[in-house]
Amino acid sequence: MITAARLTLLLIRRTTDRATLVLPIVAFAVVTALALTVFGGARFFFAVGEEDLSILYAVLGTVATILLVVPLLTLCGAAARLSTRRRDDRLATLRLLGAPRRMIAQVTVLEAALLALAGSLLGLVGHLMLVPLTGLLRFHGEQLGASRVLISPLGAAGCILGLVTLATVSAIVGLRRVVVSPLGVRTRQQAARFSVWRVIGFAVVLVVGVFAVGSLSGRFGPVGLIAILGGAFGLTMVVLNLIGPPLVRVSARWMLRRLDRQPVAPRLLAARTMLDDPKATWRQVSGVAMTSFMAVFGGVGVAVSSIASAGGDGEVEAQNQMIATDILTGVLVTIAISFITVACAVAVSQAAAVLDRRDQLVSLHRIGIPVSQINSARLRAVRRPLLLVAVGSAITAAVLVFPLTGAALLTQPLTLVVVGLALLIGCSLVLGAVKLTDPLVSRSRSGSSASLYL
């Protein structure tokens, strides 16, 4: 184990392509900073003193935390997958030099843990910098304050330990897909298959969700309503993620059938990229589905709260108005953090894709494909699934809440503005994150990866 640790540190120091080291560290730093801030701020919602509001705020805080944990885990997974190609080349070199299989596994796991630990420690510093800004938010008629957002040392240690554990487990799982032979390393690949049963399952879950929202929500109070909406939302998201990759594959094949339009090269490259790994393509944009869901649910929820605050005596009206304001603030904060997380995940995933396809980029450059067309293809490969998931998830969310709200609330100006801005800002951030990785393509096309990993 000591030999493996020394070898890991040596390989890290000898790495000439710093992007493969810096990008995972930055990604884990962003995950840690946002996660610590979210968990620290969530404590406030479990400490509301009023008995009639404590359960409502606790449920709202739990829902918001769960909604934010999912994109954070997506970003964490993107960071863990970033060094896949570097891992394969390094493992192949070590194997050819005679390193035993056990040492190769130890080096891979140790490096993943070290990068995650370094990023998490930087993220802790980022959390401390975000605390004063987050403390300015107002909930329950008062500012949160820095003391309510600052996470405890035990909580910070637990979060960092959890992220390092996730990175380690991801490395171990990744090794199961790698075949280490005496002559090198190769990765097992399984072609994704389209399943009609996934589409049928999505339709069934959507119908059940509509029925549950329409028939059961009136029998419970606000907490029960939130629980029903959350359950329908969660099940729909799970099934939507199951049918997403097949839809990406169908969309890519449709692009290939329309190659008679110009320019041909970007469209062909984009379609082939989507067909090569539909799951990875969907994974990059799946976070936008959650933000679209949140935008629809949040916009409708704010509209309902605003209408409900019109009746009752002065004290009840003031309380309802405070709840409506807190819901609006929570929705905006949740969407903003989710946007930032999704944009970071897309940037990391695109960087990983560029590093993983470095040899292909070099080959395309040598046969005369301009960098502009390569970047255009990368943008197309993200833009089409992005529009599909953004519009599709918003429509699905509208169908779920329709039995509860009707067409009147869904067409309220506030609802339309929230949904429209969410889609516009979310799609713009994702596409902007893709453009941020264009310089990495220019660097990668000028040389092969053989000399850049060790």
Instruction: Read off the pLDDT of residues 303-336 as tens digits, 9 standing for 90 and up.
Output: 666 665 555 555 656 766 777 777 777 777 888 8
Query: What per-residue confidence (pLDDT) applies to 308?
Result: 56
Same domain for 143 and 29: yes
Cα distances (Å, whole numbers) of residue 320 to 65, 171, 315, 434, 447: 23, 49, 9, 42, 62
Tell me whether residue 453 is in a domain. no
The CA distances from residue 362 to 211, 267, 365, 443, in Å, are: 54, 19, 5, 10
Phi, psi of 50 (to 5 degrees): -70, 130
Query: How confident is the model at residue 122, as a pLDDT?
Result: 92
Q: How far is CA 149 from CA 49, 98, 134, 143, in A?
A: 17, 51, 7, 11
Do 262 and 358 have their domain in common?
Answer: yes
Shared domain for 268 and 358, answered yes or no, is yes
**Dist CA 388 CA 255 (whole Å):** 14
In the predicted model, residues of the chain with pLDDT beneath 50 are: 183-189, 191, 448-454
Single-letter code of the amino acid located at 447: G
Whether residue 389 lies inside any domain: the answer is yes
Number of domains in the chain: 2
Please indicate, yes or no, whether residues 253 and 286 belong to a single structural domain of this protein.
yes
Asked if 135 and 245 sit in the same domain, the reply is no
443 within some domain: yes
Domain boundary among 189, 221, 254: 189
Q: Is 33 exposed, middle or buried (0-12, 13-18, 19+ CB in 10 A)?
A: buried
225 and 371 part of one domain: yes
Same domain, 360 and 336: yes
- Side-chain half-sphere of 203: how many Cα atoms within 13 Å? 5
CB atoms within 10 A of CB 152: 11
Phi, psi of 177 (to 5 degrees): -90, 0
> In this structure, is residue 287 part of a structural domain?
yes
Q: Are residues 111 and 124 in the same domain?
A: yes
Supply φ then ψ for residue 139, to 5 degrees.
-140, 145
Closest CA to 381 of 239, 242, 287, 265: 265
- CB-based contact 289:267 (threshold 8 Å): no
Same domain for 203 and 154: no
pLDDT, position 453? 37
For residues 239 and 360, membership in a common domain is answered with yes
Q: Which of 161, 189, 217 is the last residue of a domain?
A: 189
Residue 53 lies in a domain: yes
Residue 454 lies in a domain: no
416 occurs within a structural domain: yes
d(CA 235, CA 243): 13
What pLDDT score does 112 carry? 79
Q: Output the pLDDT for position 169.
A: 82
DSSP state of 263: P
Same domain for 388 and 255: yes
Give dist(CA 39, CA 61) in Å, integer.
10
**Structural domain of residue 71, as residue ranges?**
1-189
What's the half-sphere exposure (Cβ side, CA atoms, 13 Å) at 434?
19
The last residue of one of the domains, among 131, 164, 189, is 189
Same domain, 387 and 282: yes
